[in-house]
């Protein structure tokens, strides 16, 4: 299967609007200029809003030498590609510790910090098909008025984005067993075809 590029995602958005497709963001067309203006913004919005399995990363954070000015015992440097922190754990995998993200730092009272986070995955080959479509419709929403001058078309793109967002979240959530449900899994299970 061929991997999708950012241009492919832009063309999905343009097709949804009934607009001409582009070859590159440098094309001398209104469509290319609009895609160039809104693409990165639409991608970041979608990557931050849900816990997409295809862009999750894990990291042990480096403790900064200076303690936070007030309120917390420790501060840690977040990875450069961190868009959103989803979980904070200690080395034993224990969660539920209070923390806050400030800029590119994480503040907590823990003397060690391990995180699960959304990475700013610019490599679109990491995106699954629903994530690509969700980004495309978010982009279509942003492009709609500037390309069509129609608030009705813009509203239609928003509705399609909302539908895809729910679909994608449901599919994404089904790709693992939440830890809260692990107690219900038997120690061993015999899987046989029927």
Q: What is the pLDDT along the chain (194 residues), one digit of tens a residue?
A: 467 899 999 999 999 999 999 999 999 999 999 999 999 999 999 999 888 888 999 999 999 999 888 889 999 999 999 999 999 999 888 898 999 999 999 999 999 999 999 998 778 888 888 999 999 999 999 999 999 999 999 999 999 999 999 998 888 778 765 554 433 433 333 333 33
Length of the chain: 194
Q: Which residue is associated with the tokens 């469509």?
A: 31
Assess if residue 153 is contained within a domain.
Answer: yes
The answer on 44 and 13 residing in a single domain is yes
Query: Rounded CA gap, 107 and 130, in Å?
Result: 33
Give a yes or no: residue 189 inside a domain.
Answer: no
Same domain, 98 and 64: yes
Domain count, the chain: 2
Q: Are 29 and 81 contained in the same domain?
A: no
Same domain as 59, residue 41: no
Q: What is the bridge-based pairing of β-strands 62-63 and 105-108?
A: unpaired
Domain carrying residue 155: 6-51+127-174
In a domain, 147, yes or no: yes
Torsion of CA 166, 148, 36, 53, to 10 degrees: 10
- pTM (predicted TM-score): 0.81
């Amino acid at each position: 299967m061929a991997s999708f590029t950012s241009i492919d995602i832009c063309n999905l958005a343009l097709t949804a609007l009934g607009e001409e497709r582009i070859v590159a963001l440098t094309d001398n067309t209104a469509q290319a200029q609009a895609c160039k203006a809104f693409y990165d913004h639409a991608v970041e919005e979608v990557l931050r809003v849900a816990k997409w399995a295809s862009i999750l990363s894990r990291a042990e954070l480096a403790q900064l030498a200076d303690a936070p000015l007030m309120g917390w015992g420790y501060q840690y440097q977040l990875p450069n590609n961190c868009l959103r922190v989803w979980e904070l754990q200690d080395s034993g995998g224990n969660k539920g510790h209070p923390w806050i993200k400030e800029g590119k730092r994480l503040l907590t009272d823990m003397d060690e910090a391990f995180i699960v986070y959304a990475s700013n995955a610019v490599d679109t080959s990491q995106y699954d098909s629903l994530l690509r479509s969700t980004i495309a419709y978010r982009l279509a929403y942003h492009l709609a008025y500037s390309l069509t001058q129609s608030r009705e078309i813009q509203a239609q793109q928003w509705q399609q984005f909302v539908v895809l967002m729910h679909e994608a979240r449901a599919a994404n959530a089904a790709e693992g067993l939440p830890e809260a449900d692990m107690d219900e899994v038997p120690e061993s299970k015999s899987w046989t075809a029927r």
